[in-house]
Amino acid sequence: MKIDYSLKDALSWRFVVVSILPLLIVSIVSFDFFSRETEHRLTHENQSAAESIAAKIALDLQEPHVLVREIGRFCKFFPAKLTGCNSYLDQIVNDNHSIDSVFVLNAVGRVVATGLPIDFRKSPADYIGQDFSLLPQVKNVRSGSGVAWSEAFFSQEDGRISVALTNKIDEGLIVAYVNVDHLNQRFMPLPGQQPAHLLLLDHSGQLVFQFPQAAAPELLDLQHLEPAKSALTGGQHTAHYELGGKDYLGTAIQMPDVGWVVLYGQEYSGLLGIVWRLKIILVSSLMLAFVLASLWSRTLARKIVRPISDLAQSAESFAEGDYRHPLPYGNHLEIDCLSDSFRLMRQTIDEREKLLLQNKEYFSRLFNGVTDAILVSKRFTDGTPGSFVEVNDVACRLLGYSRQELLEKTPYNLNRISQDDPEEFRRVLDEITEKEQVLFKTELLTSNGDWLPVEIGCQLFELDGQQVFFSVARDITLREKYESSIKTLVRSTVGLTGQDCLDEIVQNLCDWLNADGASIGLVSGERMKIQAGCLHGELKNPFSLQLAGTPYKEILDGNYIFHTEDAASRYPALSQFKLAGIQSFIGIPMVGHNGQILGAVSAFSRNAMIAVPHVEELLSVIASRAAAECERLDYVRELAHSEEMLRTLFNSTAEAIVGIDLSGECVFCNPSTLRMLGYDDEAELIGESFCELVDNERMRELIGSDSTCPFMTAIESEEKLTGSDGVLKRKDGREVPVEFWGHRMMRDGELIGGVITFIDISRRRTLEKQLQHSQRMEAVGTLTGGIAHDFNNILTVISGYAGLLQSLYADDRQLLPKISKIAEAADRGSKLTHGLLAYSRKKTGPLTPVDLNRLVLNVQDLFGKAIGEHIEKQLTLSKQQLFVQADTSQLEQVLVNLATNARDAMPGGGVLKISTEPASIDKDFCQVHGYGEPGNYALIKVEDTGIGMSPNVLQNIFDPFFTTKDTGKGTGLGLAIAWGIVKQHKGYILVDSKDGEGSCFSIYLPLTNKRPLQKPAVDTGHLPGGTETVLLVEDDPQVLETTFNILHSVGYKVLTGNCAESALAILDERKEELDLILSDVVMPGIKGIEFYQEIRKRTELPVIFISGYTFDALRDQGLVGDDIILLNKPISPFSLLTKIRDVIDLK
């Protein structure tokens, strides 16, 4: 594009722009910053003024607010004086100018008292009895709202804007009309002398007061103004708004106690006058700067352009080849620099022409100096090569052609692949086109007609804008010979394995390198084990040598080593090969398939070994072959070890393993099979039909078919055979219950038989019977536990009222024994439920250390009553003290139940023996009985000489409700309860009996190192009580009533709830009155631990739970935690009240 303006004009305008633009940018930024700062300052000042005014107004409004609250307080404390308090109210109105008048209304809105100023137009009689209930300031008063401001309204008396203060009291309402004129006079000085206005709005946005005041008062709704809208919603906002045709900047603030809004606004036009003055100054300055910059730029451009014009003329002369034109100097430093640059440019061009000639010669020497032949040929558009365009001297020398002869040929004339296999040559060309480079082997035709083996690396190259084939051909004649040698060496070891292969390798290595010795060694710690060695043509037995002082240390670091002289002086430890004067040594590491160095292959000689080309590559191949063979030998040894381990496992396993052929005859078996079947030698089973020794339902079905071997029939059809109900027939005729499974036995993918494994499950059958018995007991225990819980609630009512009556009639000798009988009956019922819970293992009594000998002595008196005088008692106690953790009453019940059964087993009399002794349970005991924990135990034996029991009876004696007694003489629960109690004490009960020979019950209880504590006597004659308040929670109405009466009779204040939800409601309302919570656990809705957690969220009051279920049962269901106090039903009033008193006292 042609430029039609001069450099002088361009520079002039640029100078103007450069000089004016920064000034313009700085001015705009400064103006913008100043404007924003000015507006921010004005906004901040407006906010500060508004906040100050609002604070003063809020303070002034407190005066009538306080007066109305005090009037309300007076009326509340002297309600009888409301009709006669006019003088008091008049005095308040006349003493305080902030209130115009006060009216006291009754509950229906009629005036009962007034407070009027002295100069008021009307008297109190004019208002007494009037109905104010329809006035907005009265009708809109909310119940219980306290002192509140009404919305602004027009007064009916004087037509002025007015507001009222209301105060809701018990007997009516106080309405005080505020003196707005008085407020105007007090608020008028607040805005100051600035052009501004002040608005006071009520909580609905109605105008209460304004300054300057309007000519006529108006009740305006100003809630649409932006600042007022924000303030009425609880915010504070400074914004522009329009009022009366003027723009204002104002801030609205809501007074928190009153709810009114103060809006303070300043005229916006007066605030921004300084901004307009700044704009005028800025524009004037910019115009002056523009005129001065234009004059200066024209003068400067004229001075700069003149030498540049001279320089342009010199450049035109240089372009034409004339370097005589003078260059301008002495004007400016930059022009002088340009003149010097033109002079240096000519010198640089001359130097680069010389360098180009030198580089051409250098690349020519490099092209012809490489050891490989380089041939560059044309590439046609179809991808085929054309004639050679360049070749180096090596190509001419290697092929025997002159350079001109080669340039006349094409790759088709020289490449053997192109002549013998055109399709392969086409594939090579396609690969070059696709990948742009390729490496392949071929042969090139020499001038004497021989074929030269080469490796060609060819790639596409661009030369003078045309694509060419750039080929580098390397002579691989020697490599081919070495590869042939390697193949020969490897071929010699084919077919050899093990030590023979390694020996052949070291012998060939000696012959190939003309060495005196060679070795293959495996590293083993700090020594090298020479696995194969050859010295002077003789093979050596394996031996080991130390690594220190040998080159093997370097080889094992992964290094290839070749020393042609002085090897013995460098490595003195080479003398271990028993070859004096070793001069040369060569070695390479053997690397396994996982990359780990296994050892080294080496050769050594007293003379210098021949430096064979590519010897490292050859040794690497030999080392790989040797490493593979060494690893194979190691695998063989591991396989043999694995076979030995499998053989050991086969012979030592407890399961019987039998192999059978297709006809079902035994072909092998392990020793466990012989032991299980009672045979002495494997030969007795080999060749026998093994399926005849197994009896189960599946086999019986198959035996009926035409198959020769049912086992194989099942295996062939199902691929595997399993059975859990089989029976093996021993040699002596006995049967062994077994579980078995079978699998196919394959060889080379063909089925040849099966392998069957048998497990003796005799012990498992015994354990299954015990488990079934335990589950049956547990199921019945769950039922009895539920029954016991319900019965406990009933007993709680009985025992509660019985205990309460005992306390009330403690001095009545005639009535007290009868009440005691009721208590005794309840106590017997409690013991029965305790027994049922003990059977179900859901009763956990207080387990304490018990002297077992003393317990037996204490209970023998009960035996006399239970068994009668016709049975002789024999008591044998251990000389050693026996202490166990137990519930005394439960163990006494066990002994009484056993003694009672012994009595019934000896109707004609007999001997009852009871003895105690220390005992221990070992692993043999546990293995025989199928249960138990090894340790030290106390043993209690209860023996009788009665009628005994049959085996069928023995299997069921601990079942609940099982009895051999006549109808009405037994419940069948005695032994079941005894069994449950013993289990609950982590003990075991065994029975040994034969029909007609009596019975012996053995009870094992674990010993403890703890000793029993002496408990002080408790006085139950007086029921402890108190005056605190108790929250009682119980869903059973009778239990709730009983417990309420007990607590109330001893002085407690009781609050009741029938569920957790009602109790929580009471707790939320009256928790400050409560001292303790007494609650059931299992109730409708929230239960137990959830109820306790809800209580803890609300208070830290102590909590006592009471339940017919035991702690263990409730804890297992997640209904209670370890930190919860739990009492069991039924509980006597004394025990309950004592616990309550203790817990409250701890608080």
The CATH number of the structural domain formed by 775-832+1019-1147 is 3.40.50.2300
Q: What is the pLDDT of residues 72-112, one digit of tens each?
A: 887 776 655 555 577 788 888 787 777 878 888 887 888 88
Average pLDDT value for residue range 307-313 = 70
The predicted model gives 572-584 an average pLDDT of 74
**pLDDT higher than 90, residue 253:** no
> 865-903, pLDDT tens digit by residue?
567 777 888 888 898 989 998 887 778 878 888 888 888
User: pLDDT tens-digit profile of 660-672?
Assistant: 888 888 889 999 8
Helix or strand run (H / E) with residue 396: helix 393-399
Q: How far apart are CA 575 and CA 581, in angstroms?
A: 8
Q: What is the average per-residue pLDDT within 257-284?
A: 72
Residue 696: its pLDDT value, please?
54
Q: What's the pLDDT band for 1017 if we cut at 50, 70, 90?
A: very low
Q: For residue 221, what is the DSSP state?
A: B
Q: What is the DSSP string of 286-343?
A: HHHHHHHHHHHHHHHHHHHHHHHHHHHHHHHHHHTT---SPPP-SS-HHHHHHHHHHH
**In this predicted structure, what is the pLDDT of residue 1127?**
81
CB 918 within 8 Å of CB 882: yes
Q: What is the CATH number of domain 370-475?
A: 3.30.450.20
pLDDT tens for 1044-1068 read 888 888 889 989 988 889 888 888 8
Nearest Cα residue to 68 out of 91, 45, 89: 89
Q: What is the mean pLDDT of residues 281-298?
A: 71
Give the integer Cα–Cα distance in Å for 1088 and 1107. 10
Q: How sure is the predictor about 52, in pLDDT bands with cuts at 50, 70 and 90? A: confident
Of the given ranges (140-154, 265-279, 501-515), which has the lowest mean pLDDT? 265-279
| Residue 142 region by backbone torsions, left for phi larger than 0, else alpha for psi between -120 and 50, else beta | beta
Averaged confidence pLDDT in the chain: 78
Looking at residue 941, what is its pLDDT? 92
> Is the bond into 212 cis (omega within 30 degrees of 0)?
yes
Query: What is the fold, at CATH topology level, of the domain defined by 844-1015?
Result: Heat Shock Protein 90 (3.30.565)
3-state secondary structure of 108: coil
Q: Which residue has the higher pLDDT, 236 or 759?
A: 759
Of 582, 577, 590, 552, residue with least CA distance to 565: 582
Alpha helices in 704-761 (DSSP H): 710-718
Where are the chain's structural domains?
38-273, 370-475, 496-640, 656-760, 775-832+1019-1147, 844-1015
pLDDT value, residue 9:
63
Tell me the pLDDT band of 969, cut-offs 50, 70 and 90: low
Range of weakest confidence among 452-461, 823-832, 940-949: 823-832
DSSP 852-866: HHHHHHHHHHHHHHH
Q: What is the pLDDT of residue 917?
A: 93
**Strands ordered across the beta sheet of 237-243:** 207-211, 196-201, 261-267, 246-254, 237-243
pLDDT digits (tens, 9 = 90+) for 700-710: 555 555 556 77
Q: CB–CB of 1003/979 below 8 Å?
A: no
Q: Which CATH number fits domain 38-273: 3.40.50.970, 3.30.360.10, 3.30.450.20, 2.130.10.30?
A: 3.30.450.20
In the predicted structure, residue 699 carries a pLDDT above the cut 60: no
Domain 496-640 -> CATH class:
alpha beta
Structure token digits, residue 478: 């020697």
Q: How far is CA 28 from the centre of its chain?
A: 59
Of 168, 137, 139, which is closest to residue 153 (Cα–Cα)?
137
Helix/strand/coil for 598: strand
pLDDT (0 to 100) of residue 938: 92
- pLDDT over threshold 90, residue 1082: no
Intrachain domains 370-475 and 496-640 with the same fold: yes
DSSP 624: H
CB 183 within 8 A of CB 209: yes
DSSP lists the bridge partners of residue 522 as 529, 599
Name the class of domain 656-760.
alpha beta
- Residue 841 — pLDDT band, cuts 50, 70, 90? very low
pLDDT band at 940 (very low <50, low <70, confident <90, very high): very high
pTM of the model: 0.35
- Which of the residue ranges 79-83, 152-156, 773-777, 808-812 would you say has the lowest mean pLDDT? 79-83
pLDDT range class, residue 916, cuts 50, 70, 90 = very high
For 589-599, write each residue's pLDDT tens digit. Answer: 999 888 888 89
Read off the pLDDT band of 964 (50, 70, 90). low
> What pLDDT is recorded for position 633?
85
Beta-strand runs (E) in 651-719: 656-661, 666-669, 694-695
Q: How confident is the model at residue 1 (pLDDT cuts 50, 70, 90)?
A: very low
- Residue 930: partners with Cβ closer than 8 Å, 6 or more residues away: 763, 766, 767, 770
pLDDT of amino acid 1018: 45
